[in-house]
Every structure is written in C-alpha cells, then in structure tokens.
Structure 1
Amino acid sequence: MNHGRTRFVAGFLAAPVALYLIYVIAPYAQAFSIAFTDWRGVNATPRFVGAENFRRLLDDDVFWTAVGHNLLLLVLLPVLTLGIALFFAFLLNAGGRGGTAGVRGSRFYRVVFFFPQVLAVAVVAVLFQQVFRPDRSGMLNAPLIALGLEPIGFLSSTDVAFWSILAVLVWQAVGFYVVLFSAGIASIPRELFEAAAIDGAQGAPLFLRVTLPLLWDTVQVGWVYLGIAALDVFAVVWVMTAEHGGPDHSTTVMAAEIYRTAFQYFKFGYASAMGVVLFFFTIGFAILALRLSRRERIEF
C-alpha cells in the first residue's frame, strides 16, 4: 500500500522536479562554472582562470559602490515601505470610531493604493523621469521655477539621485503591502479590537500591542520579499538614470553592473562572478532575516 502511494506521488512530482532542475538548477550551475572562466560570450572554448574573477572584484571600486547602494536599499526600502504600508493599512481597517472599524471609503482607498502595482516597472521609471525633469515640464520643479527658485536635479545631482530612486521604489511597493496588511487585519477577530478599546487602548498602543503582534508573520514575509527586491533592483535604475546608474555611479546597483559588464563589455565570466556574489548576498539575507525575525506564533 505504501509502495503504491510512493509511486503515485513520485509520478506527480517527476515532471515539476525535472522542469525545476532544467530551468532553475542547471542555469545556476552554469553561471557558477562560467564565473571561473574568461568567457566573453563569443569564443567557443572559454579559458579556466580559477578565482581570478573574484580577486578582481576585490579591487573593483564601482562594483563595491553598487554593493553599498544595495545594502543601503536593503535597510531603507523594507523599513520605509513596511512602515508606511502598516500605517495606512491600520488607518483603513482599524482607524474608525473607537479604533475598532475601518474608515469610510476604505475599499476605494485600497484600490487607489494598489494602482502602482498595475503599471510595469519600466513604465513607472519612464513616468518618474518626466516627474523629475529639471525644467518647467517636471511636475516637481515647475512650481519651484514659477516661484523663481532653482530647480532640483533629482536625477542629475549625485547627492539627490539615489534618494529619488528610493522614493520611486517605495511609491511603487507600498500599495501592494497596504492591501496585504489590510487582508491580514481583516482576518483578526473584531472582538480583540473591541476588547482592547474597552481597556483604553487606542491609536499607537492599539497598533503596537494588538495589531502588529498578530500581523508579525505577514510582516516577516514582506520583509524578506522587499529585501530580495532591494538586492535585485534593476529596471528603475537602468531606465531612469543617466549612464544607467549615474551620475558618477551614484545610483548604480549590482544588477546594473552585472548587465553592463556582460552585455556592454562582453565579459561574461566576470559578470557571472558578480552574479555569484549577488546570489550569496540574497541567500544570506533571506536566512538571516528569517532567523532574526522568528518569534512564537500567536494563535487567534
């Protein structure tokens, strides 16, 4: 009986596992092997160079600048996005009278918040290129120019460009997590909010002592997803910025340097070494985030 069940399960798993090995594991293995060669994408017999590509990375200032930007995004993007999303989700679902009901029109607000998720990342990047224009056509600079003030170089200043990119990433991601946290709050029994309100908990105490602990599993998942997104950000930087990571590498990230090295300089071996580093950064972050945010599950 158990033998037949094993064969039945194995028959269902065979095709998915085979596809996973072919389209996921095999490309990873190939990338790891290419990282130890000087392959330029055109020569049929790449030369094995051992760890030379990884030694070169240690002296690559541009790559480590990109790593620094990714690490900064790794901290700021989840903190800002989750903080704003939690704030709005709490207001929409538990910000009504007595802190036990949502505000009027909360369904409409959820749809509005979710709008950026409907747009492709490249469309968002092109849209904000126009928003940040340094002339009268720019939505943000037009009022400044009308008042006789100097326009702000949102994408041309090395001091401002990175923060402009961060603002776009947060703007695009917040809506999804507002909807996600709203669904989580809606699943919490209303009696818990009513009991907390009777005990005098409203506003911040209600959020910190009731809502956040019961949403912790959802916040944990959001933290991991946003951390991976921060390490993998590419399209917004590549489309929005001058020199695809400029000015003067002030907005470049690891994914942009990998793409540039592979498809502009045709150094596929060196680009694969960068990809291996990014892979271990991503895996290491996911493991660390799950361990640090682990806590006892609250049942309700």
Structure 2
Amino acid sequence: MRHGVARFVTGFLALPVALYLFYVVWPFVQAAGYSLTDWGGYSDRQQFVGLDNYVRLFSDELIRKAFWHNVFFLVTLPLFTIALALFLAFLLNVGGREDRAGIRGVLGSGLYKIIFFFPQVLSLVVVAVMWQQIYRADGQGLINGVLMKVGLVDPDNPIAFTNDPEPFLGVPAVLWWLLLIAVWSGAGFYMVLFSAAMQSIPKDVFEAAILDGAGRFHTFFRITLPLLRDTVSVAWIYLGFIALDMYALVFVMTPSQGGPNHASEIFASVLNFTAFQKGQFGYACAMGVALAIFALLLAAAQLKITRRERIEY
C-alpha cells in the first residue's frame, strides 16, 4: 500500500520538480559558474579566473557604498513597516470601545483594511510611477504644488526629493524618500497578516487582561506582541529580502538609476549597470551570488535568533 502511494506521489511530482530544477535551480548554478569567469555576456569566450571576481568585490568602492545603502534599508524598512502594520492591526482588531460583545476594533475597521491593503493590488512599478509624479521637483508635483500654493515652498527652490543627494541623519536624503514609498506600499499587506494572527488569539485573553486593570499599552506589549512573535519574525525575513532588492524603486524613481551622484546606488543597480552597460557579466554574477549568500545567511540567523517553543492557546 505504502509502495503504491510513494509511486503515485513520485509520479505526480516528477514533472513540477523537473521544471523547478530546470527553470529555477539551474540558472542559479549557471550564475555561480559564470561568477568564476570573465565572461562578457555577448560571446562564448570566457576565461576561468577563480575567485578573482569575489576578491574584487571587497575593493570596489561603489559596491561598498551600495552595500551600506542596502544595509540602511535592511534596518529601517522592516522596522518602520512592521511597527506601522502592528499599530494599524491592533487598532483595527482590538483598538475600539468595549461593549457587551467584548473587545472590538475601531469603527469602520473593515473599510480601513481595504483602503490600507489597496497598494498591494498595484504593481510596484505602477506605484513608483505614481510617486514619481508626487515627488516631481517643480510646481507640477503634488507635494511641491500644494506647498507652493500655501507659501511654504519657494517656487524657485522646490524640494528636490529623489534628486537630493545631501545627507540627512548621515544618509542621503533620496534614500529616506524611497523608504517612505516602500513603507507606504508594504504596510497594508503586513497589517492584514498581523490582523489574521491577532484574530486567532482568543478575545478572552484580552478581556481578562482589561478586567485585571491592564491598559491598551500594556495589553499590546505584554499579550499581543509576544503571541505574534512568530508572525513578526517571518515578516521581518520577507521585508529583509525586499530591502536587499529595492531595484524597481531605484530604477524608476532616481536619475541615472542610482543617482544623483550614486547617492541611491544599491547592490541590484550596480549589478545591472555592470552587466548590461559595462558588459562584465562574470563580475555581475559574482555580485548576485554574494548577495544571495548574504540573504540566506541573514534569514538563517534571523530564524535561529527568534526560534522558540510554540505557544498553545
């Protein structure tokens, strides 16, 4: 009987696994192989150079700058997105008034969920193009236009937004404006994710805490957040992968896809420029492999740090 089931499962999965290996795993293996060569991408000529491309990464000043920009997103994007999503989810689930039915969310919470989730139905490129018009550095931009109308911005000196390379808190201002877009577009999804996790927590737990005199602040930090630890950990990993990418926003929103003056350069934009503008595909593959290894190590460390016994309730 078991032999028949195993044969059926094997036959059922053979084609999907073969397609996955060919279209997903094999390109990764090819990239790792090309990273050990000086392949130019447009010819069959390639010479084996060993680990020279990886050694070159450590001495490349542009790579170092792009790496620290990614680290900025790696720290700030999960932090701000998860904090905002948790706040919204808490309000929409247990932030309303108490009544005979128990603890409720704020009035109209169902409508708010739809509104906050709406950016998720849009492509990231569409979101970037929309914000490109909001951030326009002239009177036609939404923000600059409004501020000019009320006299808060000089028409001859509008806010540069994504054209501003000047540092703010030690980081190029353009990165902060890109961070705002990323948080705005992603918070709704994680709000829904955290809302689903909160709804699985029995309302009796919240009501018992309130009867014991706990306020909403203590309820959130002593009950809700600890019980959502696993969900928050998964969200942090997903957002970490997004922070290590950010290519679509940088490509659409910034001048020269990484400007001005490399102020918004990230690993993915340097990789794209190196491969398709310089024609150094071997070196670009080394960048991609290094980024993939870093992302996997980061995810493994995150899972290791946040691992704990499952809480039953």
Q: TM-score range by the shorter chain?
A: over 0.9
Whole-Å Cα distance in 1 between the matches of residues 40 and 138 of structure 2? 42
For 2:184, the aligned partner's letter is W
For residue 122 of structure 1, what is the aligned residue in structure 2? Answer: 125
SS in 1 for 2:36: coil
Question: Does structure 1 residue 104 correspond to structure 2 residue 111?
Answer: no
Structure 2, unmatched stretches of 5+, are 168-172
> Equivalences for 1:137-148 in 2 at 5 Å?
137-146=140-149, 147=151
Whole-Å Cα distance in 1 between the matches of residues 304 and 72 of structure 2? 20
Of 160, 177, 193, which aligns to 1:153? 160
Runs (4 or more) in structure 1 with deviation over 4 Å come to none
Whole-Å Cα distance in 2 between the matches of residues 111 and 4 of structure 1? 47
For residue 241 of structure 1, what is the aligned residue in structure 2? Answer: 254
For residue 195 of structure 1, what is the aligned residue in structure 2? Answer: 208
Note the C-alpha offset of 1:295.
2.2
For residue 208 of structure 1, what is the aligned residue in structure 2? Answer: 221
Q: 1:85-105 CA deviation, whole Å, 9 max, x = no partner?
A: 000110111001148211110
Greater mean deviation of Cα atoms: 208-217 or 237-246: 208-217
Greater mean deviation of Cα atoms: 96-105 or 83-92: 96-105
> Equivalences for 1:171-190 in 2 at 5 Å?
171-190=184-203
For 1:171, the aligned partner's letter is W
Instruction: Give yes or no for contact 1:115–1:175 (8 Å, CA) kept in 2.
Output: yes
Question: Does structure 1 residue 71 correspond to structure 2 residue 71?
Answer: yes
TM-score, length of structure 2 as denominator length:
0.92
What is the RMSD of the two structures over their aligned residues, measured on CA atoms? Answer: 1.4
Whole-Å Cα distance in 1 between the matches of residues 191 and 6 of structure 2? 42
For 2:153, the aligned partner's letter is L
Instruction: Give yes or no for contact 1:100–1:197 (8 Å, CA) kept in 2.
Output: no
For residue 275 of structure 1, what is the aligned residue in structure 2? Answer: 288
TM-score, length of structure 1 as denominator length:
0.96
Note the C-alpha offset of 1:13.
2.4
Whole-Å Cα distance in 1 between the matches of residues 263 and 289 of structure 2? 23
Question: Does structure 1 residue 297 correspond to structure 2 residue 310?
Answer: yes
For residue 95 of structure 1, what is the aligned residue in structure 2? Answer: 95
For residue 46 of structure 1, what is the aligned residue in structure 2? Answer: 46
Note the C-alpha offset of 1:148.
5.3
Whole-Å Cα distance in 2 between the matches of residues 284 and 13 of structure 1? 29
Whole-Å Cα distance in 2 between the matches of residues 104 and 42 of structure 1? 60
Of 222, 233, 258, which aligns to 1:220? 233
Q: 1:100-133 CA deviation, whole Å, 9 max, x = no partner?
A: 2111100000000011111111111111111111
SS in 1 for 2:136: coil
For 1:39, the aligned partner's letter is W
Whole-Å Cα distance in 2 between the matches of residues 241 and 148 of structure 1? 25
For residue 61 of structure 2, what is the aligned residue in structure 1? Answer: 61
For 1:156, the aligned partner's letter is N
Instruction: Give yes or no for contact 1:213–1:298 (8 Å, CA) kept in 2.
Output: no
For residue 257 of structure 1, what is the aligned residue in structure 2? Answer: 270
Note the C-alpha offset of 1:145.
2.6
For residue 136 of structure 2, what is the aligned residue in structure 1? Answer: 133
SS in 1 for 2:161: coil
Query: Quick one: percent identity of the two aligned structures?
Result: 50
The number of residues matched between the two structures is 300
